[in-house]
């Protein structure tokens, strides 16, 4: 079978010292699975490349696995580790720039510091944007203090991937049900809520060129677009937006297929957002590359749409 050529960009790695941050969710895995994930996360060599070749993946953009420095309390340590991490990743990418690109790790504890590190990563290291693992110690980025960051992101014309992690305070409804707090449910709710804060907080009105990427088929947001418009019109609570809420989802908010290998969901997301707003990714190594590839190559899409989802949209977004 001729493989559809692909680009993927929710594809993770880790570096020395960052395992301390990710222990929060790795501790819930059995030891053998955790060890295998660790080996894959630290591999930049032939094993990862061979898997990409078998899957027809020409290029991946690598990002530090969660929660990264969003899990760090000390802003100074967060900046130090982010810069070290970005320099390390730049060195790995430089060995295979034909196959690897990079998302920056950002210390979002201070907006101006995050903006400066983003600019360094993009202009000096050649990074394609940044991936941030949700809130930073309970702070969300609709806060007007982060306008300096959004302005810099827009000026640099690179996207931000908003990746999930736990809520800052566990909701009462999750108590006694730890399975709800993480990737099965809570992470998606947390990330979707953060995105809605950005929409209703006017971030995309102030910075209409900003592109935000969500994984996991948009964390459910594409399928509530109509209701957002209906209920916001009925209960605006004094909030003013330049467009309907739905119009930001597909224009400023783009999504990947990572971790949701459902043909019905894919077709629905494209119907809601348009074919140019949906992009293939895997969530490697937490999801199966083989399963994700079979899913996208057998999806009920015409070939022009499949080409856009698999590579064309990413080529345009990342200027590849």
Catalytic residues: 283
* Rounded Cα–Cα distance for residues 262 and 241 (Å): 33
- On whether the CB atoms of residues 139 and 198 are closer than 8 A, the answer is no
- On whether the CB atoms of residues 83 and 109 are closer than 8 A, the answer is no
**Of 236, 193, 213, 192, nearest in space to 317 by CA:** 213
* Rounded Cα–Cα distance for residues 22 and 14 (Å): 9
* Rg of the chain, C-alpha, whole Å: 19
- Give the single-character DSSP code of 136: B
Q: At 311, list the tokens.
A: 């590579």
- On whether the CB atoms of residues 300 and 28 are closer than 8 A, the answer is no
* Rounded Cα–Cα distance for residues 268 and 223 (Å): 8
- On whether the CB atoms of residues 82 and 136 are closer than 8 A, the answer is no
């Amino acid at each position: 079978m001729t493989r559809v050529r692909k680009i993927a960009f929710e594809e993770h790695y880790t570096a020395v010292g960052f395992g301390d941050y990710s222990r929060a969710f790795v501790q819930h895995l059995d030891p053998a699975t955790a060890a295998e994930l660790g080996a894959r996360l630290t591999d930049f060599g032939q094993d990862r490349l061979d898997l990409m070749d078998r899957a027809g993946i020409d290029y991946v953009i690598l990002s530090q696995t969660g929660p990264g420095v969003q899990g760090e309390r000390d802003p100074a340590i967060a900046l130090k580790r982010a810069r070290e991490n970005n320099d390390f990743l730049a060195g790995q990418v430089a060995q295979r720039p034909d196959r690897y690109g990079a998302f920056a790790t950002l210390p979002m504890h201070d907006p101006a510091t995050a903006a400066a590190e983003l600019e360094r990563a993009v202009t000096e290291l050649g990074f394609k944007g940044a991936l941030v693992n949700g809130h930073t110690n309970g702070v969300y980025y609709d806060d007007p203090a982060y306008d300096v960051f959004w302005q810099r992101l827009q000026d640099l014309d690179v996207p931000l991937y908003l990746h999930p992690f736990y809520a800052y305070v566990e909701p009462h409804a999750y108590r006694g049900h730890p399975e709800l707090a993480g990737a099965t449910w809570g992470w998606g709710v947390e990330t979707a809520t953060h995105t809605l804060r950005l929409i209703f907080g006017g971030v995309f009105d102030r910075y209409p060129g900003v592109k935000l990427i969500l994984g996991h088929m948009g964390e459910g947001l594409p399928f509530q677009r109509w209701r957002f418009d209906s209920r916001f019109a009925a209960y605006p609570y004094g909030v003013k937006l330049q467009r309907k809420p739905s119009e930001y989802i597909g224009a400023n908010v783009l999504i990947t297929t990572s971790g949701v290998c459902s043909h019905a969901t894919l077709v629905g997301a494209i119907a809601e957002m348009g074919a140019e707003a949906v992009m293939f990714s895997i969530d490697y190594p937490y999801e199966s590359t083989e399963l994700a590839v079979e899913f996208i190559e057998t999806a009920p899409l015409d070939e022009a749409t499949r080409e856009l989802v698999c590579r064309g949209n990413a080529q345009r977004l990342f200027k590849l």
